[in-house]
Amino acid sequence: MKRENNILRQLCALLLMVATTSFVYASQSDIDQATRSKVVNAIANKLEAEYVFPDIGKKMADTLRTKENEGKYEGIRDGGALSLAFTRHLRELSGDKHINMYFGMYRPNMDISAAIGNMAGLSSKKSFDFVKRSSLPGNIALVELNSFPPPEIGDDAITKVMNEIADTNALIIDLRNNGGGSPEMVALISSYLFGEIPVHLNDLSYRRSSMRKQYWTQTNLAGKRYGLTKPVYVLTSNRTFSAAEEFSYNLKNLKRATIVGEVTGGGANPGEVFPIDERFSIFIPTGRAINPITKTNWDGVGVKPDIEVPRSRALSVAQELVLEKIK
């Protein structure tokens, strides 16, 4: 049961963090004033207690209460529309694109197996068909990563792909449609691009526990390492977000990959889903990323590519660079 709960927690975080704009899965519902006021107060309390930066958490909480007292939400009686309004206002106040309010997606005391099925049903097939491999001229491997699922879900697929591409001359990793996911998977995939000596990738520092969790490349891998010397290019877009940005940021600062494409979305604060009542829930960032090289992160600014081009041209530009390099 403990393992099932852990997988559910990671799965929920993955699916909710992938969305860079609000996604509401619910039918319309009539929300009265008493319910709305109760929800607003519960959200405000959670923000004050959990948001990674206490001063900003209090600012969001106070503003939300003020808007409710002034009747700013009075005309919104649909739960989905109310969630969108909360999300928009909280992002405007904090500048944090990870904040997301949901309606009808999670219920306290939901059966674990039912919850997993519900979360899986909300994702597109593409979210779980997360890695695709193809070949380009010049013995170049192209790997498209559409998300970073927890290793429990994606380990076998990554092992298979890395074994298939081990003998190619160069690697292009396409993150242009990747909205994020698990930092553990970021560390696992990154491990294939380095040697057996562990490399420090990133830290996550959390408010509540004062814990700082370090992420390093792994010594033991199930598949073949790609190694330290062969060229690696990473494609980005303005939709590249969260864990996908971490992957790009880490490799860029470690000088292990060349980033080609657009400046990424700018979300660096990890968090979790908090149920508000039987219908509303909210994703609140509870920590922040700290890169061991830059001592900061990409939140609010995104990852700037080494070679900035429109997303539509990123692959062709990377191919030209790879072919020139391997000559």
- Give the span between the Cα atoms of 162 and 139, in whole angstroms: 14
CB 141 within 8 A of CB 165: yes
Give me 209's structure tokens: 């526990």
Strands (E), 54-174: 100-103, 131-136, 140-145, 170-174
pLDDT digits (tens, 9 = 90+) for 11-48: 444 444 444 333 444 445 688 999 999 999 999 999 99
Which domains can be identified in the chain, with CATH numbers? 2-114 (no CATH), 125-267+302-326 (3.90.226.10)
- Give the span between the Cα atoms of 182 and 158, in whole angstroms: 14
φ, ψ of residue 220 in degrees (nearest 5): -110, 130
Q: Which residues of 4-18 are buried (b: 16+ CB within 10 A; e: fewer)?
A: eeeebebbbbbbbbb
- Per residue of the chain (327 residues), what is the pLDDT tens digit? 444 444 444 444 444 444 433 344 444 568 899 999 999 999 999 999 999 999 999 999 999 999 999 999 998 999 999 999 999 999 999 999 999 999 985 544 444 333 333 443 434 344 457 999 999 999 999 999 999 999 999 999 999 999 999 999 999 999 999 999 999 999 999 999 999 999 999 999 999 887 799 999 999 999 999 989 999 999 999 999 999 999 999 999 999 999 999 999 999 999 999 999 989 999 999 999 999 999 999 999 999 999 999 999 999 999 999 999 987
pLDDT digits (tens, 9 = 90+) for 111-136: 433 333 344 343 434 445 799 999 99
User: At CA 130, angle to CA 263 and CA 236, rounded to 5?
Assistant: 10
- Give the span between the Cα atoms of 149 and 183, in whole angstroms: 9
The pLDDT > 70 percentage for the chain reads 84
Instruction: Please give the model's pTM, rounded to 2 decimal places.
Output: 0.85
